[in-house]
Amino acid sequence: MKEIEFTRDVDHTLAAMQEHGLLLSSAGADGRPNVMAVGWGCPGVIWGRPVFVVLVRPSRFTFGNIEATGEFVVNVPGDDMHETCMYCGTKSGRDVDKFAERGLEAVAAETVGAPLIGQCVRHYECRVVHRNDVVDAAIDAEIRSQAYAKGDFHRLYYGQVLRTAARE
C-alpha cells in the first residue's frame, strides 16, 4: 500500500459508493475485525481537515465497534467485489466472521486499529472527531418516511482521514 493524496480519485470513490457501496471496516475492543457495506457517506473537508463522514444505524454490529474504539477504515472495493459488498451489507458480524467467509485479507493500518481490506483499491484510515444523530424533528418528511419508518436513526461519524492509501 502506498500513501496517496486524500483528493486523488475521489470521483471514483463516490461512483463506487453509488454503484455497489463501500466497505467500512472496524475492530472491536477485543481486536476482532468486522466489515459492513455503506452506501451513504461523504468525503470532504471540515475544520480544515480531510474528513470522511459515514452514517451507521445503531442496530449495526459495526456501531458498537466504532463507539468502543472511535476508529474505522473506509475501503473502496474493486468492480469485481460486488457480491462481497452485498454479502457484507446483508450479514452481521454478530453472526458470521465476514473476513473469513469472504476470504478478505486484513492488513494492518498505519494510524488506526481497524484493518484495511487487502483486496480493495483505496483506503481511508479515520479517527472519529465528531458524531451526531439524525434528528427526527428536523429531517425532511419524505426522507423520514423512506429511511426511518422503523426509527433506527443513523449516527453520523465524522472521521478525520489520517491516511489515504492505495494498492501498489
DSSP states of 44-98: EEETTEEEEEEEE-TTSHHHHHHHHHSEEEEEE--GGGHHHHHHHTTS-TTT--H
Contact 51, 158 (CB under 8 A): yes
Give which of 80, 45, 40 is closest to 60, Cα–Cα.
40
Minimum Å distance from CB 39 to ligand FMN? Answer: 3
The residue (of 55 and 139) whose beta carbon lies closer to ligand FMN is 55
Minimum Å distance from CB 55 to ligand FMN? Answer: 5
Minimum Å distance from CB 79 to ligand FMN? Answer: 14
User: 15: which 3 cell numbers?
Assistant: 461512483
The residue (of 2 and 135) whose beta carbon lies closer to ligand FMN is 135
The residue (of 8 and 82) whose beta carbon lies closer to ligand FMN is 82
The residue (of 2 and 94) whose beta carbon lies closer to ligand FMN is 94
The rounded distance, in Å, linking the Cα atoms of 125 and 159 is 8
Minimum Å distance from CB 104 to ligand FMN? Answer: 13
Residues lying near ligand FMN in the complex (CB under 6 A) are found at: 21, 34, 36-40, 55-57, 60-62, 85-86, 89-94
